[in-house]
Amino acid sequence: MSILLVSPPFGEKGLQSRGLPIAPPVLEYLAGLTRQVDPSLRLQLLDANKETLVPEEVTADAVCFTVLTPQAPWVYRMADRLRALGKKVILGGIHVTALPEEAKGHADAIVVSEAETVWASLLADLANGALQPAYHGHFPEMVGLPRPVTDLWNTSYVYGHFQTARGCPHRCTFCSVHEFFGGTTRLRPIDEVVKEVAASKRRLFWGIDDNIWGVDVKRSIELYGEMARSIRGKWWFGQADLVTLDHQRSDELLDNARRAGLTAVLVGWESNNLATLEEYKAVNKQGRHRRDQIKRIRDHGIEVMLFTMLGGRQDVRADYDELLQLCDDLRVSAHPVMTTPFPGTELYEQYKPFLKPGLDWDHFDGNHAVFEHPTLSAEEREDLIIDLRARLFTLPRILKRVARVGWRGFPMSHVTSWMVQYPQGRAFKQYALEHAARRARTSANR
């Protein structure tokens, strides 16, 4: 029997991530899990950002899709076509877990929650022609997890990935993580992580933990110390909170993290607007002196990028300029996305009465305004974020920011700063052009 694992394209209305240099983590991980539970099964992987999925040309018996919310419409269309051709379709991932009844309509089987505890029985049922409509995974212990399988691609990637923990201690209302992982945080054994990264042929990684140091500071210090001792010539970036840096051992944490190869951290700044931060229940994760902490991280030789959302119902027009000013003051870059209430989150329930009717899930991609705002129209918010991104990613600004990374990180943190910012600026520009073309077509049709 053979199965094809598919990573869907990152939205059709905003192809921001075309040619993303990161290997899709879910696919490589599920391939590892499959080999662990049934080594006889033949496996194929397809990254639909880089290759075209043609249902008529699929040779596998079953096709498995991982589904984020903005990818759902594409997946459902493909799934319907594949099923009409007699293929079995299995869906899993965060969107399927949030809306299982919707997903069931397009699949022979769905996996709700994490796959580890149900994957073996699902594959056995598939082989026996006895698939159940739904499999409900539990929250597995993070011991003995399979390593990602990296040798099945037809395409190539610059970055691999590793995961040391699942879950996050914070409960931000916009974030899917808390709900998805059942409020749990779970850590992998340090030696398993270190051996996995050391054994990988790859040299650059994304540490895909939801919070690379905020789950358990002492364990992070220990993990990074061990990585620094055992791994040479490998570098990585990851995402984290700021409040952890109020911890008394945070200098040691940052030192060890840099020695472990951390070149850049994407910090959850979330918003400049205090009312919005409160609305998102994201105040506590900012810590006491968040501006100073940004400087501290960079002085340790680690690049910083701010994750921020704009266009929430408490946000105002001035927030866009203020974010640019903040980035200029701190000489730091940002990844601004449109506030998006994802199904399964607290924010979704709160914003439900304001959602624009008739929008398909592909609008929930961080570029589109999907709810009504008290003072700003959807078009205004979409234009404001595009304009902010254009101003943030001019070449002089990018270069000034690269130069500001502390000397202790030279050269890899500086190289990473460029490698993250430059393509991001280009992707934003490309999206802006596509957005303008779509807007022109819409007004011509009116």
- Of the pair 7, 293, the CB lying nearest ligand B12 is at 7
Query: For residues 315 and 183, what is the distance between their CA atoms, to the nearest angstrom?
Result: 28
- Of the pair 99, 399, the CB lying nearest ligand B12 is at 99
DSSP bridge pairs for 22: 159
Least Å distance, CB 369 to ligand B12, is 13
Cis peptide before 411 (omega within 30 of 0): yes
DSSP bridge pairs for 59: none
Candidate ranges 6-14, 80-88, 246-254, 287-295; the one touching ligand B12 (CB under 6 A): 6-14
- Of the pair 215, 257, the CB lying nearest ligand B12 is at 215
Render the burial of 419-430: b for 16+ CB within 10 Å, e for the rest.
bbbeebbebbee
Task: Tell me the per-residue interface mask from 103 to 132 with ligand B12, x by CB under 6 A, - otherwise.
Answer: --------x--xxx----------------
Candidate ranges 99-107, 252-260, 337-345, 347-355; the one touching ligand B12 (CB under 6 A): 337-345
- Of the pair 235, 404, the CB lying nearest ligand B12 is at 235
Q: Which residue has the tokens 């006895």?
A: 130
Residue 366 contacts ligand B12 per CB under 6 A: yes
Instruction: Choose which of 4, 58, 64, 402 interacts with ligand B12 (CB under 6 A).
Output: 64
Query: For residues 344 and 348, what is the distance between their CA atoms, to the nearest angstrom?
Result: 7
* Closest residue to ligand B12: CB criterion: 92
CB of 37 closer than 8 Å to CB of 386: no
Candidate ranges 53-61, 80-88, 195-203, 335-343; the one touching ligand B12 (CB under 6 A): 335-343
CB of 16 closer than 8 Å to CB of 56: no
| DSSP-derived secondary structure for 156-191 | --SEEEE-SEE--S---TT-SHHHHTTT--EE--HH
- Of the pair 202, 295, the CB lying nearest ligand B12 is at 202
Cα angle vertex 352, ends 347, 357, to 5°? 135
Candidate ranges 67-75, 194-202, 280-288, 416-424; the one touching ligand B12 (CB under 6 A): 67-75
Instruction: Choose which of 108, 179, 196, 210 interacts with ligand B12 (CB under 6 A).
Output: 210
The total number of residues written for the chain in this structure: 446
Characterise 135 by phi-psi region: left (phi > 0), alpha (psi -120 to 50), beta (else).
Answer: beta
Using CB under 6 A, count the residues that bind ligand B12.
Answer: 39
Query: Residues interacting with ligand B12, by CB under 6 A?
Result: 7, 10-11, 17, 20, 22, 24-26, 29, 64-66, 68-71, 90-95, 98, 111, 114-116, 163, 175-177, 208, 210, 337, 340, 342, 365-366
